Structure 1
Amino acid sequence: MRISKVVWKPVLAISLSLMMLVLAACSSNGASENPAASPEAGGSSTPTSSASASASEGPKKEISVSAFDRGQVATEEGNYEDNRWTKWINENSPVKVKWIPVDRGQAQQKLSTLIASGSAPDLIWEYDRNYIAQLANQGAIQPIDEYIEKYSTTFKKYLEENPDLKSAMTINGKIYAVTSKRAIDSIAGQGIWIRQDWLDKLQLKAPTTIEELIEVAKKFKEEDPDGNGQADTVPIVFNGNAVGVMRALFFTNENQWYLEEGQMKYGRTLDRYTDSLAFQKSLFDQGLIDKEYITDSNFEHARQLWTTGKAGMYFANWRMDNENTDLKKNVPDAKLAPLEPVESKYGKNGLYQELPANILVAFNSEMKEDEIESAFKFIDWMLEDGWLPLKHGEENVHYKLVNGEIPQRLDSDKFRTEVAYAGEYAIMSQWNVKSDWMTVMAAQDPLSQEIAESKAIALDVALKNEYRRDIAFSPDLPEVSQLIATFAPIATQIEVKVVTGGKALTPEAGMEQIRKEWKRLGGENVEKLAQEWYEKNKEFLK
């Protein structure tokens, strides 16, 4: 089976049709460990698959794997530890998996606590390569070069066909994690949405500069764009990507390193960062952003404002299926448009874009060799067969194939409830997509098609402009990660004072404090180490 170029192979389709027969048998409430005994089984029996056959040779080995808890599992589905998909995985994969969910907003803190207590899962994954490097430097995870060669088949071949992934997996000259390639819909990260109907009503054009964005925001605040005769609209709301959106407009990111005239500098200490703080403060002082965003830690208030039609712009990400669908249901006349990043005095930067490697799956240093062997069986299975149902559901229940390759969603609400959360378990994937697939993939009802059309445009907009990234990876040095871990909360506290404190602390004075703290904590020495690291790894960082 070829696995590198084309995702939807006939062999894979046959394999999936066999595997998917078991899905309907899964209990949504964890009431039965035997899928065939579930009321959802519809009289079907569990199919024989390679994984099922291997189970007959003896009890399956068990491994544990981390998962992000994003709060998306509906009550009737169960929870992140126990639901139709965890049962499906254990029925079909060559091993039994115990999932250890960690809250997405506190994932690294939670994982670090589990590691310190000796109760971390066998496989630990994160998007953040710096965190994986930190774990490697702490000895919390182990190198796996020899085990890939010894125990893997599918992944080993996949890596040979995608050698560009190896640099992301390599720390201090050794491989510490496995990964798979991102599809373009995953490379695109951030997005800006604007109410086109509000622009039309107020006879405004979409903003193209920082200054124009502020003027449009003022109009959205002052001129009653929702037409209810009340001053109750909020020009701009956020989700977790918002700060990144604002920083990107000024060609900086608080967590990236940049080459400034050939010298390694941390993004949070740059002059451009001062300008991004000034912009954020200006929006806050003028009441152009939701002032509850400081305490709206899960962004529910922002989401409510958007979905009830009270917000004009959403600094978020390009795929806002649920939020935009809910907005259209509440305000049928709303028209949505993705907005290109506006130009600052530094020019036009792209919205944040991820590197080609997807999540990095690391191996707990406490794992024994037989456990590592079992983990590679699971990884190979997931990369070859397991990922597809976890992303798209059951064929002819949640989707059908169009043109033999494009999964078309049959019912968006059913998918949202029964499948959307399952992507957390697809720790390896060969999914790839094109923007013009969006309308084909979506459910064919008018609302789903409208959302899909806007999403296809949004994906192209998100990838249209190059995002500034001077080096592929940040320095994976323990001194760097330790300093940043200490520095980040201090800097955040200063930045909150700058943005929300009125005249008490100007952006310039706040940046002076930030730089003072950076220097106090050893920033100058870390910059020196980062420069040495860069000079040593130049070729590796392109």
Structure 2
Amino acid sequence: MKKSNHVWKPVLAASLSLAVLAACSSNTATTESSSTAPQGSAPAAATPVGPKKEISISTFDRGTVAAEEGSYEDNRWTKWINENSPAKVSWVPVPRAQAQQKLSTLVASGSAPDLIWEYDRNYIAQLANQGAIQPIDSYIEKYSTTLKKYLQEHPELKSAMTINGKMYAITSSRSIDGIANHAMWIRQDWLDKLGLKAPTTTEELIEVAKKFKDADPDGNGKADTVPIAFNGNAVQIIRAFFQVNENQWYLEDGKMKFGRTLDRYKDSIAYQKALFDQGLLDKEYITDSNFQRARQLWTTGKSGIYMSSWNMQNEFIDLKKNVPDAKMVPLEPVASKYGKNGLYQELPANILVAFNSKMKEDKIETAIKFLDWMMEKGDMSLKYGEENVHYKLQDGKIPQVLNADKSRKEVSYAYEYAIVSDFSLVPEWFPVMAAQDAVSQEYAKIKTQSLNVALKNKYRRDIAFNPDLPEVSQLIATFHPIATQIEVKAVTGGNASTPESAMEEVRKEWKRLGGENVEKLAQEWYEKNKEFLK
């Protein structure tokens, strides 16, 4: 496991300002001048002399800010950031499920924030090729201290930040818990009740799902279970069974091919359609854009398989509240005729933070100094909260949650603001970090198991990054909604469309939009950048 340069930072030995303590109880506004240290703690970060310059930053709206906490734009943590950082930040939330669409709209209208971030390097490359963001190499060299040093110590991140030979984004390394992403969960108590074993193949998964549908596993005497619940990762989980991703390029006999044009993609559509036609998943999943219906199916005990993410603590806690005897365990990816593939795993680079091309140098300087502060001091508080209020340190380094519900409500959403971070945890810390109540401890052990399961099988990625050519980005941006519509029709349309006809139509559209020429350009790009893509 990658070890951080420092396991813990000085900021975590100090409590947050008294103003934030007041916000914890009353959620009232605070002022910069009210920053004083609580008794028995080190001084809070000093407020810079003079007015702070303003910057705006995008953030994902995942719908997790409790009403009493405020909003993504205004809460205890946005106040704390503005009080302790060298900038006054306005946060611009974009819905997670439509993030790129919303950001592109803001860019097109000229109202995009100063800093735009995404996990998807392809999207950042698209913005670079459009001229919406600007190179920042010289500015990092001129204005940064902490980040500049960090990037020098992490050369493995250079390729993620570099587009067309220039640095277009800032990033930091993922902790091991950030490398893991997609995962599946299953109700072990349902398996035990029905005398079933955990499925290991795509065929067995369907058979288990049928039993979950027909054999009344929740014991209420009604045929009301929905075997499989889908969140936003689910369709890509099915793709992974067939070693294909709709938005990745693959090397097929040394030739660059786009995922959606491969036969394996057709097989993933056919599998999704089989689940839909047999009523093994919620038929409203396509319109469940914020995945709240899927979450409700799982947490109320109406689903037995959850295609989601490796860390589902909130869902676990809510399930245990509703169904105390439920036993939620991680499920390994199942094998298809193409073999066993890991579910989606991230590359080493984390969030990619880009600078709006309209930013002037004074704002760029402020933004870089803000990122330096975040990397050096701000990130840990945004991940774990306030010492002796939300956590206490064990062994001088491990943050142990004091109250799971309090931390969940007051801190869990704040990690969205830590857009760069220098911290790597150790999986064995999970039981120590968790609150000491029985449910939290039960989940901490399962969380360790889930992380191990999520990383056990390597996810297929033939090249590290997709081609960052404008012709490629433009074609895919046009092709994606067309192909998605064709796929949805095939999956939900009954006999009106088959996977075979859908595949034929997808390939026809790819060719019509110039796919053959783009494949040629992608091949040339690959040959030129082979060594860079390992």
Settle same-fold status: TM greater than 0.5: yes
1:151 maps to which of 131, 143, 152: 143
8 Å CA contact 2:330, 2:449 repeated in 1: yes
What do the CA deviations read for 1:267-299 (whole angstroms, capped 9, x no partner)?
Answer: 011111111111111111111111111221111
Give the SS at the match of 2:285: helix
Which residue does 2:271 correspond to in 1?
279
Q: Is the aligned partner of 1:541 residue 2:528?
A: no
Query: Following TM superposition, by how much is the alpha carbon of 1:388 offset from its aligned partner in structure 2, in angstroms?
Result: 0.3
CA distance in 1, matches of 2:247, 2:102: 20
Q: Is the aligned partner of 1:68 residue 2:60?
A: yes
What do the CA deviations read for 1:250-278 (whole angstroms, capped 9, x no partner)?
Answer: 00000100000000000011111111111
CA distance in 2, matches of 1:28, 1:45: 19
Q: Is the aligned partner of 1:353 residue 2:353?
A: no
CA distance in 2, matches of 1:240, 1:316: 7
Which residue does 1:124 correspond to in 2?
116
Query: Following TM superposition, by how much is the alpha carbon of 1:47 offset from its aligned partner in structure 2, in angstroms?
Result: 7.4
Which residue does 1:161 correspond to in 2?
153
Which residue does 1:8 correspond to in 2?
8
Give the SS at the match of 1:67: strand
CA distance in 2, matches of 1:345, 1:484: 28
CA distance in 2, matches of 1:37, 1:59: 15
Give the SS at the match of 2:99: helix
Q: Is the aligned partner of 1:529 residue 2:521?
A: yes
Which residue does 1:434 correspond to in 2?
426
Query: Following TM superposition, by how much is the alpha carbon of 1:234 offset from its aligned partner in structure 2, in angstroms?
Result: 1.0
8 Å CA contact 1:305, 1:311 repeated in 2: yes
Which residue does 1:492 correspond to in 2?
484
Which residue does 2:211 correspond to in 1?
219
Query: Following TM superposition, by how much is the alpha carbon of 1:7 offset from its aligned partner in structure 2, in angstroms?
Result: 2.6
8 Å CA contact 1:28, 1:76 repeated in 2: no
8 Å CA contact 1:25, 1:42 repeated in 2: no
Which residue does 1:516 correspond to in 2?
508
8 Å CA contact 2:97, 2:232 repeated in 1: no
Q: How does 1:335-484 map to 2 (within 5 A)?
A: 335-484=327-476
CA distance in 2, matches of 1:28, 1:110: 34
| Identity within the alignment, % | 72
More off after superposition, 182-191 vs 116-125? 116-125
More off after superposition, 348-357 vs 113-122? 113-122
What do the CA deviations read for 1:480-509 (whole angstroms, capped 9, x no partner)?
Answer: 111111111111111111111112211111
1:229 to 1:476, Cα distance in 2 relative to 1, 3 A = same
CA distance in 1, matches of 2:12, 2:184: 37
CA distance in 2, matches of 1:407, 1:22: 22
TM-score by length of 2: 0.96
8 Å CA contact 2:119, 2:352 repeated in 1: yes
8 Å CA contact 1:77, 1:84 repeated in 2: yes
Which residue does 1:26 correspond to in 2?
23
8 Å CA contact 2:402, 2:435 repeated in 1: yes
Which residue does 2:321 correspond to in 1?
329
Query: Following TM superposition, by how much is the alpha carbon of 1:22 offset from its aligned partner in structure 2, in angstroms?
Result: 4.8
Which residue does 1:234 correspond to in 2?
226
What do the CA deviations read for 1:187-210 (whole angstroms, capped 9, x no partner)?
Answer: 101010000000000010001111
Structure 1 stretches of at least 4 aligned residues deviating more than 3 Å after TM superposition? 11-14, 18-22, 25-31, 35-38, 41-51
CA distance in 1, matches of 2:5, 2:18: 26
Give the SS at the match of 2:413: helix
Question: Structure 1 unaligned runs (5+)?
Answer: none
1:424 to 1:347, Cα distance in 2 relative to 1, 3 A = same
What do the CA deviations read for 1:136-175 (whole angstroms, capped 9, x no partner)?
Answer: 1111111011111110000000001101001100000000
Q: Is the aligned partner of 1:187 residue 2:145?
A: no
Query: Following TM superposition, by how much is the alpha carbon of 1:13 offset from its aligned partner in structure 2, in angstroms?
Result: 3.9
8 Å CA contact 1:248, 1:351 repeated in 2: yes
8 Å CA contact 2:16, 2:37 repeated in 1: no
Give the SS at the match of 1:408: strand
Give the SS at the match of 1:91: helix
**Partner amino acid, structure 2, of 1:32:** A
8 Å CA contact 1:4, 1:161 repeated in 2: no
2:82 maps to which of 71, 85, 90: 90
- Structure 1 vs Structure 2 CA RMSD: 1.9
Query: Following TM superposition, by how much is the alpha carbon of 1:28 offset from its aligned partner in structure 2, in angstroms?
Result: 7.2
Q: Is the aligned partner of 1:249 residue 2:246?
A: no
Which residue does 1:319 correspond to in 2?
311
Query: Following TM superposition, by how much is the alpha carbon of 1:43 offset from its aligned partner in structure 2, in angstroms?
Result: 7.6
CA distance in 2, matches of 1:42, 1:380: 23
1:44 to 1:405, Cα distance in 2 relative to 1, 3 A = closer
Query: Following TM superposition, by how much is the alpha carbon of 1:339 offset from its aligned partner in structure 2, in angstroms?
Result: 0.4
CA distance in 2, matches of 1:144, 1:36: 33
1:208 maps to which of 200, 221, 232: 200
**Partner amino acid, structure 1, of 2:114:** D
8 Å CA contact 2:17, 2:44 repeated in 1: no
CA distance in 2, matches of 1:369, 1:34: 28
CA distance in 1, matches of 2:467, 2:436: 47
**Partner amino acid, structure 2, of 1:23:** V
1:74 to 1:36, Cα distance in 2 relative to 1, 3 A = farther
8 Å CA contact 1:25, 1:44 repeated in 2: no
1:73 to 1:376, Cα distance in 2 relative to 1, 3 A = same
1:359 to 1:524, Cα distance in 2 relative to 1, 3 A = same
Query: Following TM superposition, by how much is the alpha carbon of 1:437 offset from its aligned partner in structure 2, in angstroms?
Result: 1.5
CA distance in 1, matches of 2:300, 2:4: 43
Which residue does 2:51 correspond to in 1?
59
Give the total of aligned pairs: 532
Question: Structure 2 unaligned runs (5+)?
Answer: none
8 Å CA contact 2:55, 2:114 repeated in 1: yes
8 Å CA contact 1:22, 1:46 repeated in 2: no
Which residue does 2:250 correspond to in 1?
258
CA distance in 2, matches of 1:372, 1:297: 35
CA distance in 2, matches of 1:25, 1:455: 33
CA distance in 2, matches of 1:254, 1:270: 9
What do the CA deviations read for 1:410-430 (whole angstroms, capped 9, x no partner)?
Answer: 111101111111111101111
